[in-house]
Structure 1
Amino acid sequence: MTEFGKTLTVTETPIPGLLVVELPVHGDSRGWFKENWQREKMVAAGLPDFGPVQNNVSFNDAVGTTRGIHAEPWDKWVSVATGRIFGAWVDLRAGESFGAVFTTEIDPSRAILVPRGVGNSYQTLEPDTAYTYLVNDHWSPDAAYSFLNLADETAAIAWPIPLSEVEISPKDLAHPRLSDVTPIGPRKTLVVGAAGQLGLALREALGDVAHVEYATRETLDLGSDLSTARRWRDYGTIINAAAYTAVDLAETAEGRQDAWAANVTGVAALARIATENGITVVHVSSDYVFDGTSTRPYTETDAVRPLGVYGQTKAAGDAVVATVPRHYIVRTSWVIGEGRNFVRTMASLADRGIAPRVVGDQIGRLTFTEDLAAAIVHLVSHEAPYGVYNVTGEGEPRSWADIARAVYRLTGHDPSSVTDVSTEEYFAGQAGPIAPRPLNSVLDLTRITATGWTPRDADAALEAYLATAASEV
């Protein structure tokens, strides 16, 4: 008999993400009523906002009808409209909890959220049982499924009615034992801009594993119709490491067009895909969204005031990504990674005995791509609260001239060879448009540190980078 008057409560189980929910059912002599799925109340109670798109009903005439064990690549909200079941769930996801089992009875006053990859099965305990479930993807024959035999000895499910006495389909009887099950892997991660300096660092951090894909401009055109480019419901995260970064060229007519296409239009396409498919999107932003006039480090909540086209496109891209329900905007500055960059240029000048004039009135901190990649992996893997995070090196802010002197010193050359000049002096007389630069690019790191990730000291990171670069020569 259905229990009336329960309080909406959510209880964890031994299977990660498998949640039992007690549902308030209101009844009298006429019957009963319940809110089977009420997004606002249930998310507030602790359920994930899993975004169901399809509702199915399985009607069972007889007691003992037994179905499963099926693991599917989507989340499932299971309840019953009439009758009662014994439900059994087995974790068929790759990982430490593979093979974990949980069982319980469900009537109209109880539901269960079954996460993607957890095997689902049930046995009816009353006649005329209507088993209902909502899922957050449309059924597809192309999806990757996994199955487990109902009689598996390792799972050892204590079915109330012996399996020898119940109705089971031939297909369910033929499912494999646990030792032969192909585990369902995690949702895929897609790295966009995989050939760039951050993309290369992300490849190093994430590795060449089956569930991580790397896309370059040649393999994924953000200007095309992305809706059919992938089976997007199989993806959990998109990391956008692609960007137009030629700040001076962006001030030209052609460069302005290219900057907006890459930093806004392409980002909007990814944001739309992420929103429609419940994907977490990670977007890399820039100190150039600020005008650099602040007398303190910039926080994540400071208003943006970009000076040039590049900064404007980055600010616009940030605004688009902020509309995605699951998003991380990682704002950084003065990025150093593989290939040509300021540090390598200064080291080359030092080796050639050149005494450079270097800008001394722009202040910031270096950010090495391996640290930026590590911060991104940390935010996603630790499921940090969504939003904007500043990520740079830690330590005393430096000017570009200070960093140049450090490079000279660390490579065994005379740091006094470096002469400070103002930004205005440095660009005086140069042909072509010059983008305005923020003079203060220092970003406050309080929020990222609070998540448990510790930024590396920028000076120490510079020394390590030069030591590695020297060993590779």
Structure 2
Amino acid sequence: MTVGELGIRGTAIPGLLVIDLQVHGDARGWFKENWQREKMTTLGLPDFGPVQNNVSFNPQVGVTRGIHAEPWDKLVSVATGRAFGAWVDLRAGASFGTVVTVELAPDTAVFVPRGVANSYQTLEPATAYSYLVNDHWSPQARASYTYVNLADPQLAIGWPIPLADAEISDADRHHPLLADVVAMPPRRTLVLGANGQLGRALTTALPEAEAWGRDRFDVTDPGAYDTVRWADYDTVINAAAYTEVDAAETPQGRRDAWAANVTAVGRLASVATEHRLTLVHVSSDYVFDGTAPWHDEDEPVSPLGVYGQTKAAGEALVTTVPRHYLVRTSWVIGDGPNFVATMAGLAARGVTPTVVDDQYGRLTFTDELAAGIVHLLAGRPAYGTYHLTGAGPVQSWADIAADVYELCGRPRADVTPVSTATYAAGKQTAPRPQHSALSLDKIAATGFTPRPVAESLRAYLAELTRAD
């Protein structure tokens, strides 16, 4: 005999789901699939990645436990007996304080998202209450629990057995009322490489995020990863990278580039996968050889130099993370030393530079790049690779330098165009892609329209002038 069909129902608490289980029985007893990843995720249960299975045995009727909100997701059910379950949303937000109750029998399970408080009362002797959780219990984790009182009149939970007659621990009897509960905050966003040009822009664009520079977290230090409680985070944005393109061609530079752009990225990818984090990783036009005039997200990588090779290798590691946004960009300009700031300084001093005129691409200003990343995280379009640069015409470096000079009140003719071969003669330089223009169609389809480079350039130079 088989009872019921597998199904999943929503509740008044966002993310709290009731699962109707199939129970197969005969004269010997019954059998059920308590957790079946493929079937349940197809029906809408989050693929929450359980790592620990706990069972609480209760010999008598009326044992009442809770109400505890824990910093992980869990799937609860009964292995034997019956229980009355009550859940209270203790997450910050509009649903804070919402109550849902469900009777749990072998044919019922409940998925409880992080921050929703869980409790139950046994209705039969020898009830075994089972729960799968997606983080390991630890004393440190327990310190972040949030509690509310079982008898809070504001919750008005209809306990089948009056609490005066129930078996309750002293701790559970003395938890605070809802009015005194501090809501459990959501998992946070972490920005790594926060002291760099992009990191500073991300810190401005995401004021609620934690922002760590190399002094707080060195991505190349293997021991640093064990010091972080990753379960407290939802998203990690990796803005840390080795970007010295020419120095990467030297023996020490090659080692440093691989350490930061590949080995460290591999560790982040592993952490993100294990803890179900969204990993945002920023890559470069240097993963292409530049023979094509435009590059879209599906073009195979073909790096020329060591820097590009390390970025391409890092990309391959990032794509193993189930939840990832790989953001390729080009010619980044932000708060710190960069091409535009250098040209503006030369213009102010009356210098007439020679600038390469046979490499083509588009500038990307860090505030625009940060805005695009925020857009991806807010809208959560399909995970994968997105190109993000400034919009507008493709230019050479010499074109951009002439624009800077003109905006600084100097003649465009002060900039002398020169070929890459001529400019690099006698210098130790890395090979560079001739064409670095990235297609913006995919990110535009998500609703983000990058700002034209010319507009961003005027605003950037105006800010430089004010800073001076």
Q: TM-score scaled by structure 2?
A: 0.94
Alignment correspondent of 2:169: 169
2:435 maps to 1:437: no
2:295 maps to 1:298: yes
Task: Give 1:237 shift.
Answer: 2.0
Task: Give 1:369 shift.
Answer: 0.9
2:464 & 2:102 partners in 1: Cα distance?
Answer: 59
Deviation digits for residues 310-331 of structure 1, max 9, x if unmatched?
Answer: 0000001111121222222111
Alignment correspondent of 1:68: 66
1:111-130 equivalence runs, <5 A? 111-130=109-128
Could you tell me whether the CA contact under 8 Å between 1:191 and 1:239 is conserved in 2?
yes
2:238 alignment partner, one of 237, 240, 245: 240
Q: Which runs of 5+ in 2 are unaligned?
A: none
Which stretch shifts more, 322-331 or 336-345?
A: 322-331
Could you tell me whether the CA contact under 8 Å between 1:226 and 1:273 is conserved in 2?
no
Q: Residue 225 of structure 1 aligns to a residue in which SS?
A: helix
2:357 alignment partner, one of 357, 360, 363: 360
2:368 & 2:438 partners in 1: Cα distance?
Answer: 15
2:94 & 2:402 partners in 1: Cα distance?
Answer: 50
Go from structure 1 to structure 2 and tell me whether the alpha carbon gap of 1:443 and 1:174 turns closer, same or farther (over 3 Å shift).
same
Give the aligned CA root-mean-square deviation in angstroms. 1.8
Could you tell me whether the CA contact under 8 Å between 1:285 and 1:332 is conserved in 2?
yes
2:308 maps to 1:343: no
Q: Residue 421 of structure 2 aligns to a residue in which SS?
A: helix
Task: Give 1:64 shift.
Answer: 2.6
The share of aligned pairs that are identical, in percent, is 63
Paired residue type of 1:406: D
Go from structure 1 to structure 2 and tell me whether the alpha carbon gap of 1:198 and 1:34 turns closer, same or farther (over 3 Å shift).
same
1:414 & 1:9 partners in 2: Cα distance?
Answer: 71
Alignment correspondent of 2:374: 377
Task: Give 1:135 shift.
Answer: 0.4
Paired residue type of 1:175: H
1:119 & 1:46 partners in 2: Cα distance?
Answer: 21
Task: Give 1:434 shift.
Answer: 0.9
Task: Give 1:5 shift.
Answer: 4.0
Deviation digits for residues 18-60 of structure 1, max 9, x if unmatched?
Answer: 2222222222333221111111222222222111111011122
1:399-438 equivalence runs, <5 A? 399-429=396-426, 431=427, 433-438=428-433
1:87 & 1:378 partners in 2: Cα distance?
Answer: 38
Could you tell me whether the CA contact under 8 Å between 1:226 and 1:269 is conserved in 2?
no
Task: Give 1:278 shift.
Answer: 2.3
Task: Give 1:93 shift.
Answer: 1.5
Which stretch shifts more, 436-445 or 392-401?
A: 392-401
1:77 & 1:13 partners in 2: Cα distance?
Answer: 15
2:445 & 2:47 partners in 1: Cα distance?
Answer: 25
1:41-120 equivalence runs, <5 A? 41-120=39-118
1:246 & 1:364 partners in 2: Cα distance?
Answer: 19
2:386 & 2:99 partners in 1: Cα distance?
Answer: 38
2:199 maps to 1:202: no
1:286 alignment partner, one of 284, 299, 311: 284
Alignment correspondent of 2:183: 183
Could you tell me whether the CA contact under 8 Å between 1:119 and 1:147 is conserved in 2?
yes
1:203-242 equivalence runs, <5 A? 203-207=203-207, 209=208, 212-221=209-218, 222-242=220-240
Alignment correspondent of 2:271: 273
Q: Which runs of 5+ in 1 are unaligned?
A: none
Could you tell me whether the CA contact under 8 Å between 1:23 and 1:110 is conserved in 2?
yes
Task: Give 1:338 shift.
Answer: 0.3
Deviation digits for residues 103-124 of structure 1, max 9, x if unmatched?
Answer: 2222222211111111111122
2:12 & 2:380 partners in 1: Cα distance?
Answer: 20
1:412 & 1:86 partners in 2: Cα distance?
Answer: 76
Q: Residue 119 of structure 1 aligns to a residue in which SS?
A: strand
Go from structure 1 to structure 2 and tell me whether the alpha carbon gap of 1:22 and 1:394 turns closer, same or farther (over 3 Å shift).
farther
Task: Give 1:4 shift.
Answer: 4.3
1:160 & 1:379 partners in 2: Cα distance?
Answer: 46
Which stretch shifts more, 60-69 or 282-291?
A: 60-69
Q: Residue 327 of structure 2 aligns to a residue in which SS?
A: strand
Deviation digits for residues 362-415 of structure 1, max 9, x if unmatched?
Answer: 221111111212222222333332221111112222222222222222223322
Task: Give 1:352 shift.
Answer: 2.1
Task: Give 1:127 shift.
Answer: 2.8
1:228 & 1:339 partners in 2: Cα distance?
Answer: 31
2:332 & 2:184 partners in 1: Cα distance?
Answer: 37
1:317 & 1:37 partners in 2: Cα distance?
Answer: 35
Alignment correspondent of 2:314: 317
Task: Give 1:447 shift.
Answer: 2.2
Q: TM-score scaled by structure 1?
A: 0.93
2:6 & 2:239 partners in 1: Cα distance?
Answer: 42
Alignment correspondent of 1:472: 467
Task: Give 1:63 shift.
Answer: 2.8
Alignment correspondent of 1:458: 453
Which stretch shifts more, 351-360 or 143-152?
A: 351-360
1:227 & 1:200 partners in 2: Cα distance?
Answer: 22
Instruction: Name the count of aligned residue pairs.
Output: 465
